[in-house]
């Protein structure tokens, strides 16, 4: 069984350190919920794991089994089994979606897939994700709605079959029906034994995919780790208990609300969703 291990990870953007020593590990078959107030480094962690060149790892290790992930370029990290569904997927004009998917799938194989085999897999994936197949002929994410971009990320995950999938606010921009489709796709991959690292502010998604563990990132560090009960605690009471019980002063993020207003707000969302 594969294991992803992050040890004492320090990450900077330019000369500003954002992660100050993150320790976290994830086994295949586990789903880890990563929570935390906005601007505290969650997306930075995933970007550093995947190898986004804007983020510099200044100290620490990322190991996928015994492979030193930090020594690999992004495409090798992907081939090694890491996958990132981005918070804001980029539009790539000039790159046809089907061509992109074919290239990505073939890059993982010794010999290229037969065309009928590829199109079979593609059609099945589009169908399961409820995305019109015509969209495979459009440029990657170009002009896609927020929800279409997010579903398209999950479609890629289904086709690439990573060992570890990291999903960054995959539920933002999704309506209730799309969220059901995405959650079903996640559950299907969970059943195959994938590992998931899932960032969301909303208990609703977590209720659908049942994380096995939860961790909370505060001030660029993991402040607390435990079972999924942490999610419902944050859902109902916000993050203040971290300061009160753990004595961790939550640094006010730039351009964010004061801490007593910071809550993941799932209750309000749930009322909104169920009222639909
Ligand atoms: N590309 C970037 N350039 C400069 N600062 C960045 C960049 N990406 C993230 N940051 C900063 O890093 C901090 C953590 O951001 P982020 O990892 O996106 O937080 P979260 O995902 O927890 O909301 C924030 O202060 C943010 O402004
Ligand atoms: Mg983020």
Question: What would the pLDDT profile of 194-237 be if each residue is shown by its tens digit?
Answer: 999 999 988 999 999 999 999 999 999 999 999 999 999 999 99
Q: Are 6 and 23 in contact (CB under 8 A)?
A: yes
Pocket flag, ligand 1, residue 197 (CB < 6 Å): no
Distance CA 68, CA 139 (A): 34
Tell me the C-alpha to C-alpha distance, in Å, between residue 176 and each of 143, 171, 208.
Answer: 21, 9, 12
pLDDT digits (tens, 9 = 90+) for 53-88: 999 999 999 999 989 999 999 999 999 999 999 989
Mean pLDDT across 128-144: 95
Element (H, E) at 27: strand 16-27
Residue 158 has what DSSP assignment? H
Tell me the C-alpha to C-alpha distance, in Å, between residue 210 and each of 56, 201, 204.
Answer: 32, 14, 10
Strand partners, 85: 167
Pocket test for ligand 1, best of 9, 17, 35, 39 (most atoms within 8 A of CB): 39
Pocket test for ligand 1, best of 43, 45, 170 (most atoms within 8 A of CB): 43
pLDDT band at 251; cut points 50, 70, 90: confident
Closest of 6, 139, 130 to residue 64, by C-alpha: 6
* CATH number for the domain formed by residue range(s) 3-92+162-274: 3.40.50.300
Ligand nearest to the CA of 37: 1
- Ligand 1 atom nearest the C-alpha of 87 is 21
pLDDT digits (tens, 9 = 90+) for 17-59: 999 999 999 999 999 999 999 999 999 999 999 999 999 999 9
Pocket flag, ligand 1, residue 18 (CB < 6 Å): yes
Ligand nearest to the CA of 216: 1
Pocket test for ligand 1, best of 10, 11, 12, 13 (most atoms within 8 A of CB): 13
């Amino acid at each position: 069984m594969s294991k992803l291990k992050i040890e004492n990870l320090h990450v900077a953007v330019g000369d500003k350190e954002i992660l100050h020593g993150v320790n976290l590990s994830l086994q295949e078959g586990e789903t880890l919920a990563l929570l935390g107030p906005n601007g505290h480094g969650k997306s930075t962690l995933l970007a550093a794991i995947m190898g986004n060149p804007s983020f510099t790892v200044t100290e620490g290790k990322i190991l996928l089994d015994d492979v030193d992930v930090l020594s690999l370029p992004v495409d090798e990290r992907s081939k090694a089994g890491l996958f990132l569904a981005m918070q804001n997927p980029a539009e790539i004009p000039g790159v046809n979606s089907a061509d992109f998917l074919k290239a990505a799938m073939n890059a993982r194989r010794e010999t290229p897939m037969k065309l009928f085999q590829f199109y079979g897999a593609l059609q099945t994936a589009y169908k399961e994700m409820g995305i019109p197949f015509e969209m495979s002929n459009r440029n990657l994410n170009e002009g896609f709605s927020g929800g279409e971009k997010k579903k398209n990320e999950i479609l890629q995950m289904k086709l690439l079959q990573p060992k570890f999938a990291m999903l960054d606010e995959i539920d933002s921009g999704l309506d209730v029906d799309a969220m059901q489709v995405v959650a079903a796709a996640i559950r299907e991959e969970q059943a195959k034994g994938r590992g998931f690292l899932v960032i969301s502010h909303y208990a609703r998604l977590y209720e659908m995919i049942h994380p096995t563990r939860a961790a909370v990132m505060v001030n660029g560090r993991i402040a607390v780790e435990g079972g999924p009960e942490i999610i419902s605690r944050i859902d109902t009471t916000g993050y203040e208990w971290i300061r009160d019980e753990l004595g961790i002063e939550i640094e006010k993020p730039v351009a964010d609300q004061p801490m007593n207003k910071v809550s993941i707000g799932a209750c309000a969302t749930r009322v909104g969703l169920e009222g639909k």
